Amino acid sequence: MRSRKCSAAAVLLAIFANSVVGTSLTAPKGAKVLTVGVIGDYGWTGWAPSPDNFCFEIMPQLEAAGITVPNEVINDCDPGDKQYITNATALQMDTSSYVGQVCALKNCSAFLSVGDNFYDSGVDFTTSGILRFQAAWVDMYSQGKFKKAPWYQCLGNHDIVPGQSGVDFQTKVAPLYDNRWYFGTQGLPYYTYDLEGQDWSATFVVVDSDCFLSSYQKNTSVYKNAYTTGCHENTQVQVDFLTDAFANSKATWKFLQLHHPYMSAATNETDLAPLISVVERHHGIVLNGHDHCLGHFVNNDTNFILSGAAGYPQAGDCNNGVPLGPYAKFLGANALTAANGFVTMDISSKEINVEYYARDMKFEGEDLYPVDCDLQPSYSFQITQKAT
């Protein structure tokens, strides 16, 4: 009797160790061509903004009385985001099934996130944080190709609003919660990983670009907190990390994966220049989000791939489809709206085939962004210049 109990417990423990605790999943190795999805700015589902009477009447009174209102609370009163939430939730859901369809056809093996994983104020280690994590990510991306694909994660500005506790949730708690959520091996907001094919390899460096923006250190910014102030004072740590990772890598391809855009149709975040010059020296490629649309920019021989359209698309972020100069090669937007969608990269030794998938946005009988055959890419280009 006793021994049977013990062995049952041992079996249970083994199952637990295999399925829950332990290391995150990683992409399969050895493929001739490996397809990955680049996805960003998606996590709206489950966000409940504060009520209007609090945001517009009570909050100003509290501020007038000298009571400090936490940044999360201020941010959850963002008037634009309060308006978008109903549509944004529906659009995230429709886009997740679209990404699933494209990825079933294309055999995506992993997803590379460019941040803004949870609107409006990220998630932290509270019951509401757990509920959001479950609804906006675990359950949202759970079918088909999503079932077993790792997501190489990255922090965006919405993710760091709760400060260190939010960063800890995404870097330390989430990988144990769901082994598809990958955040390096050190529990840090920056990390590096390699994808390895049959006759090629690719080094990726993920950084937290929130640390680089001086605008986030203004005392009126909802992004100013002990975490961002600390990492802003020492951005060199991340520049050195990138420099070393690229210098120590002999990979065929090298990528910087981060949230904010250095090249943009809305705001070029020039504070990122120290990171970009490392990328330029190695003939690397930049993956970013933040602007809620799809875009391709080339500056100084460097490709910037914008994939920020998996949640609430915003035409203004892609200047309503009007290029501001020859650096803008593709903008997934028109006068009225930007397209939902994501980017795939087919990585091989010969080239990286980059495809932009814009969703035909039929919504409540209208078509917000008509695309004839949205299982075909709306735009594509190939990178053949290898990393140095």
Ligand X SMILES: *[C@@H]1O[C@H](CO)[C@@H](O)[C@H](O)[C@H]1NC(C)=O
**Stretch of 14-22, 202-210, 260-268, 352-360 lying at the interface with ligand X (CB under 6 A):** 260-268
Which residues does 335 contact at the CB level (< 8 Å), separation at least 6? 315, 320, 321
- Apex CA 294: angle with CA 305 and CA 387, to 5°? 10
**Stretch of 12-20, 138-146, 164-172, 258-266 lying at the interface with ligand X (CB under 6 A):** 258-266
324 binds ligand X (CB under 6 A): yes
Measuring CA to CA, how many Å separate 360 from each of 108, 333, 369, 376, 378?
20, 12, 6, 11, 10
300 binds ligand X (CB under 6 A): yes
Which residues does 149 contact at the CB level (< 8 Å), separation at least 6? 25, 27, 103, 108, 109, 110, 111, 180
- The correct pick among 3, 53, 127, 220 for binding ligand X (CB under 6 A) is 220
Residue number with CB closer to ligand X (104 or 237): 104
219 binds ligand X (CB under 6 A): yes
Residue number with CB closer to ligand X (59 or 266): 266
Output the smallest distance, CB 54 to ligand X, in A.
Answer: 19
Give the residue nearest to ligand X (CB).
31
Closest CA to 195 of 248, 241, 254: 254
149 binds ligand X (CB under 6 A): no
Residue number with CB closer to ligand X (31 or 167): 31
CB-CB contact of 307 with 343 (8 Å): yes
Residue number with CB closer to ligand X (170 or 303): 303
- The correct pick among 84, 137, 191, 216 for binding ligand X (CB under 6 A) is 84
- Apex CA 171: angle with CA 167 and CA 176, to 5°? 135
- The correct pick among 45, 192, 238, 264 for binding ligand X (CB under 6 A) is 264
The residues in 15-34 that bind ligand X, with binding defined as CB under 6 A, are 28, 31, 34
The number of angstroms, rounded, from the C-alpha of 296 to the middle of its chain's C-alpha atoms is 16
372 binds ligand X (CB under 6 A): no
- The correct pick among 24, 50, 71, 109 for binding ligand X (CB under 6 A) is 109
**Stretch of 152-160, 167-175, 199-207, 264-272 lying at the interface with ligand X (CB under 6 A):** 264-272
The residues in 331-370 that bind ligand X, with binding defined as CB under 6 A, are 363-364, 366, 368
CB under 8 A, 24+ apart: contacts of 302-306: 302/276, 303/354, 303/381, 303/383, 304/261, 304/262, 304/263, 305/38, 305/343, 305/345, 305/354, 306/261, 306/264
**Stretch of 114-122, 160-168, 320-328, 373-381 lying at the interface with ligand X (CB under 6 A):** 320-328
Output the smallest distance, CB 383 to ligand X, in A.
Answer: 17
327 binds ligand X (CB under 6 A): yes
Output the smallest distance, CB 31 to ligand X, in A.
Answer: 3
By CB neighbour count within 10 A (0-12 exposed, 13-18 middle, 19+ buried), where does 54 fall?
A: middle
Whether the link from the prior residue into 120 is cis, omega within 30° of 0, is: yes
β-bridge partners, 192: 205
Paired tokens of 114? 């460019």
325 binds ligand X (CB under 6 A): yes
Instruction: Determine the angle formed by the axes of helices 236-247 and 273-281, rounding to 10 degrees.
Output: 10
List interacting residues with ligand X (CB under 6 A).
Answer: 28, 31, 34, 83-84, 87, 107, 109, 219-220, 263-264, 266-268, 280, 299-300, 324-325, 327, 363-364, 366, 368
